[in-house]
Amino acid sequence: PVSPAFPGSQLPCFHGSSTIRHLKERFHMNLTEEQLQLLVEQMVDGSMRSITTKLYDGFQYLTNGIM
């Protein structure tokens, strides 16, 4: 289960009911193993074709020698 590390926290990011709900949604707990595998493959494929990924990879290469 997803819950804040500090229940009752006064941090603004935990105020309101949507913060934890949105975090839980990002884990896709409602999907089957097969559905989750397909989703991850689609996310990776989309990232590999993204211009922003290519730009970031170029930036990393130029600034840090990371490719």
Domain range annotation of the chain: 1-30, 31-66
Q: Is the pLDDT of residue 3 over 80?
A: no
Cα–Cα dist 22/19, whole Å: 5
**What is this structure's pTM?**
0.62
Residues 12/2, Cβ–Cβ less than 8 Å: no
CA–chain centroid gap for 60, Å, is 20
pLDDT band with cut points at 50, 70 and 90 for residue 47: very high
Q: Give the pLDDT score at 52.
A: 96
Q: Give the pLDDT score at 7.
A: 66
Mean pLDDT of 2-28: 75
Mean pLDDT of 2-29: 75
Q: Give the pLDDT score at 22.
A: 84
